[in-house]
Amino acid sequence: MDTGSLYPALHRLEKQKWIKAEWKTSENNQRAKFYRLTATGKKQLSKERSKWAQLSDAIAGVLSPFER
């Protein structure tokens, strides 16, 4: 993923309150923006993981007859 895609995605997640951005000093003494997952973001991540697991299981069910 290039920066042209990354930052708009981070801004969308921040607007939805799934992540929170904070300016801090990095290990190399540079000012940097750090992102963390919010409680709302953790709930959404759990939902998305569940949906992904269901989709993966469905795809595996369709493909498994051909793998025999």
Element (H, E) at 45: helix 39-63
Pairing of strands 31-37, 19-25: antiparallel
Cβ neighbours around 56 below 10 Å, total? 10
Query: How many domains does one find in the chain?
Result: 1
pLDDT one-digit tens code per residue, 8-62: 999 999 999 999 999 999 999 999 999 999 999 999 999 999 999 999 999 998 8
Higher pLDDT, 54 or 63: 54
Q: What pLDDT score does 63 carry?
A: 87
**Rounded distance between C-alpha atoms, residue 42 and residue 15, angstroms:** 15
Listed residue (32, 13, 35, 14) closest to 23, CA to CA: 32
Q: Can you give the pLDDT at residue 66?
A: 65
For residue 52, the enclosing domain spans 3-67
pLDDT at residue 15, rounded to an integer:
98
For residue 50, the domain's CATH number is 1.10.10.10
Cα 62 to the center of its chain, rounded Å: 27
